[in-house]
Amino acid sequence: MPEHATAIQRGQGADPAVALSTLYDQALSFARVLHASQRRKSTGAPYLSHLLEVSGLVLEYGGDEDQAIAALLHDAIEDQADAFGGAALLRDVIANKFGPTVLRLVEMCSDCDSQPKPPWAWRKQQHLVKLTGGAAYECLVPACDKLHNLRCLNSELRAGIDPFRLLKAGPEEQCRHFNAVAGLFEQQGLPVAADLRQELQELRRLLEERESGQRLAAAGR
């Protein structure tokens, strides 16, 4: 296991010696071009906003440059393979540009590389199996991805927006999935798991609050 992975498992913060090179700049430019036409489903914000957030979280939780680059590219194979010319070509380009470690980390975030995508529940179950076979070092990027997704769901619920209206799965399915991955990341000793668990608890609280409000509104009609 890499030395930096052990540090992450012990719950230590980011290594102050970690510095981002021009390779990170190249990955950022590559991600911007790959996802140029993609938008966040609920807000319509450029998809790059999500990639930047996940990469920032990776660094905050002690990740190295390979992990930070993988965070920028973590949805490339899953979302942009067809537009790029196929998953095999995109994998080759990522490996050649950024190295085999980055490709391996990106693969850990991908639940499929085909269009149309298989059913949501099947994809998430298969992805959980993949994550279960991964090391803590390999799972930091997907854990930060889940954390940012959860924070976005909670933010929209607080704003009175239904974040599930455009998603492939409803609140119950989403909560079960987040609970499963949070448990896995806890077993791996990833410090991010504690924040993931906290956000999941907040999601459940907000959903209960929304349901209670809806019941009161229905009773008052």
Q: How many CB atoms lie within 10 A of CB 150?
A: 22
pLDDT confidence of 91, banded at 50, 70, 90?
Answer: very high
What is the identity of the amino acid at 161?
I
If you average pLDDT over residues 104-127, what whole number do you get? 90
Q: What is the pLDDT of residue 6?
A: 39
Residue ranges per structural domain of the chain:
3-7+20-219
Task: Tell the burial category of 95 from Cβ atoms under 10 Å away from its Cβ (0-12, 13-18, 19+).
Answer: middle
If you average pLDDT over residues 105-111, what whole number do you get? 95
Instruction: Return the CATH number of 3-7+20-219, one of 1.10.3720.10, 2.60.40.10, 1.10.10.10, 1.10.3210.10.
Output: 1.10.3210.10
Q: Hunting for tokens 């994809």 — which residue is that?
A: 123
Alpha carbons 46 and 58: distance in angstroms, whole number? 20
If you average pLDDT over residues 64-68, what whole number do you get? 98
The share of the chain scoring above pLDDT 70, in percent, equals 92
**Of 119, 124, 23, nearest in space to 73 by CA:** 23
Q: What is the pLDDT of residue 213?
A: 81
Candidate from 38-47, 122-131, 149-158, 175-184 with smallest mean pLDDT: 38-47
> Are the beta carbons of 210 and 164 closer than 8 angstroms?
no
Q: What is the pLDDT of residue 17?
A: 60
Alpha carbons 192 and 184: distance in angstroms, whole number? 11
pLDDT confidence of 8, banded at 50, 70, 90?
Answer: very low
Would you state the structure tokens that stand for residue 46, as one six-digit string? 């450029």
Check whether 10 has a pLDDT greater than 90.
no
Alpha carbons 34 and 92: distance in angstroms, whole number? 15
What is the identity of the amino acid at 1?
M
Angle between helices 65-72 and 48-60 in degrees, nearest 10: 160
Strand-pair partners of 46: 39
Check whether 173 has a pLDDT greater than 60.
yes
Q: What is the pLDDT of residue 43?
A: 83
Alpha carbons 158 and 150: distance in angstroms, whole number? 12
Would you state the structure tokens that stand for residue 100, as one six-digit string? 């085999």
Q: What is the pLDDT of residue 76?
A: 96
Check whether 104 has a pLDDT greater than 90.
yes
